[in-house]
């Protein structure tokens, strides 16, 4: 994700008039739009890439011959599969490299309650890496996810009146620069309920937070951000993604969430136009973040998807 930098400094002057003297109170506030934008973009990128990797595994579990963008899948045994990522996706905006393994835990995936474990990277390729070609940045993930087929059924078997519900729990270490002399790793956790629906020829994924931590409810992910904050991300309106059209790069069509427990909590609304207004059809421009700064003033930045 990228964003518009809006550097500014606000100076508010409040003048109090009396009969004999004048008192002037100055409140200085410095813009932190750049930091807030990075925090929100990082959270969106982490979720989008984890979602896509998990959905790839669900597709392979549902259909062993499923076509995966920029990858090939292989059946190691009746209960073990591997996805080898090797190149660009169809829209050429990013490339992925890794060998992710999927282990089905005894019960057939079609059965309600079936579970599987996904390992990001393996002994030969130790990380799941995504390179974003539009701005030459990357993100690298290692770790594991456990997925549960709550509803039962298969992804390719969805009908317009049907749905498939999957519970996702994951813990990953991530970095935004694995070429640094000293690689800084951060830990991020996920606990999500993901519902798949097929209203027509497309499949939509609808995500909701599935845990409560401290005073926060509907938490879908949490961990350390690149500034060392322990952040908790709550969903206030379900996140909707079209996972069939890869040109959308897993960017949400709609939904909203709050990044909590940071100095200035951020409300992110997804699927907006260039004016920051949510749209109900077409391809959204991006997202809008709003927060209150340390001087008590409401702030916002409109960020664009890439």
pLDDT tens digit sequence for 168-208: 999 999 988 666 667 788 999 999 999 999 998 899 999 99
Tokens of 25: 């109170």
* DSSP class per residue in the chain: -EE-----EEEEEEEEE-SS-EEEEEEEEE--HHHHHHHHHHHHHHHHHHHHHHHHHHHHHH-TT--BTTEEEEEEETTEEEEEE-SB-TTSSEEEEEEEEEEE-SS-TTSTTEEEEEEES-SSS--EEEEETTTTEEEEEEEEEEEEESS---GGG--TT-EEEEEEEEEEEEES-TTSSS---EEEEEEEEEEEE-SSSS-EEEEEE-EEETTEEEEEEEEE-TTS-EEEEEEEEEEEEESS-GGGTT--SEEEEEEESSSS-EEEEEEE-TTS-B-SSS---EEEEEEE-TTS-EEEEEEE--
Q: Alpha carbon of 46 to those of 139, 202, 282, 286: distances in Å?
A: 8, 23, 24, 16
The answer, yes or no, to whether residue 3 has pLDDT greater than 60, is no
38-72: per-residue pLDDT in tens? 999 999 999 999 999 999 999 999 998 888 888 99
Tokens of 192: 């999500």
For the four alpha carbons of 261, 46, 225 and 299, in that order, the dihedral sign comes to negative
Neighbours of 214 (CB within 10 A): 11
pLDDT computed for residue 7 by the predictor: 39
Portion of the chain with pLDDT greater than 70, in percent: 86
Contact 172, 50 (CB under 8 A): yes
What integer is the mean pLDDT of 245-250?
85
- Bridge partners, 207 (sequence order): 194, 239
The answer, yes or no, to whether residue 30 has pLDDT greater than 60, is no
What integer is the mean pLDDT of 218-237?
96
The answer, yes or no, to whether residue 85 has pLDDT greater than 70, is yes
Q: Which residue has the higher pLDDT, 93 or 193?
A: 193
Q: Taking CA 222 as the corner, what is the angle to CA 216 and CA 224, rounded to the nearest 5 degrees?
A: 125
- Bridge partners, 195 (sequence order): 165, 206
pLDDT computed for residue 198 by the predictor: 94
pLDDT computed for residue 188 by the predictor: 96
pLDDT computed for residue 22 by the predictor: 44
- Bridge partners, 95 (sequence order): 88, 131
Q: What is the mean pLDDT of the chain?
A: 87
Backbone angles phi, psi at 58, to 5 degrees: -65, -40
Residue 20 banded pLDDT, cuts 50, 70, 90: very low
- pTM to 2 decimal places: 0.86
Cα first-last separation, the chain:
5
Residue 88 banded pLDDT, cuts 50, 70, 90: confident
């Amino acid at each position: 994700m990228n964003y518009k930098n809006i550097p500014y400094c606000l100076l508010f002057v409040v003048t109090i008039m009396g009969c004999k003297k004048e008192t002037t109170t100055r409140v200085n506030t410095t813009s932190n739009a750049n930091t807030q934008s990075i925090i929100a973009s990082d959270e969106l990128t982490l979720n989008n890439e984890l979602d896509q990797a998990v959905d790839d595994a669900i597709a392979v579990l549902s259909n062993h011959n499923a076509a995966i963008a920029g990858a090939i899948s292989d059946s190691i045994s009746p209960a073990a599969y591997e996805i080898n990522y090797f190149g660009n996706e169809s829209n050429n905006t990013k490339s992925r490299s890794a060998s992710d393994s999927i282990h089905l835990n005894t019960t057939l995936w079609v059965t309600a309650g079936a579970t599987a474990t996904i390992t990001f990277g393996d002994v030969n390729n130790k990380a799941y890496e995504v390179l974003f070609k539009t701005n030459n940045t990357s993100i690298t993930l290692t770790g594991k996810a456990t997925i549960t087929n709550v509803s039962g059924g298969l992804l390719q078997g969805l009908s317009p009146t049907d749905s498939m519900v999957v519970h996702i729990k994951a813990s990953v270490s991530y970095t935004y620069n694995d070429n640094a002399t000293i690689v800084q790793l951060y830990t991020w956790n996920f606990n999500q309920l993901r519902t798949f629906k097929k209203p027509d020829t497309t499949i939509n994924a609808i995500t909701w937070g599935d845990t409560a931590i401290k005073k926060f409810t509907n938490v879908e992910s949490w961990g350390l951000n690149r500034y060392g904050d322990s952040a908790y991300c709550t969903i206030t309106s379900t996140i909707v993604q079209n996972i069939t059209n890869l040109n959308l790069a897993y960017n949400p069509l709609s939904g909203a969430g709050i990044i909590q427990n940071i100095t200035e909590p951020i409300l992110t609304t997804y699927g907006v136009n260039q004016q920051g207004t949510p749209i109900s059809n077409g391809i959204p421009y991006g997202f809008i973040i709003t927060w209150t700064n340390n001087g008590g003033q409401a702030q916002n930045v409109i960020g664009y998807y890439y």
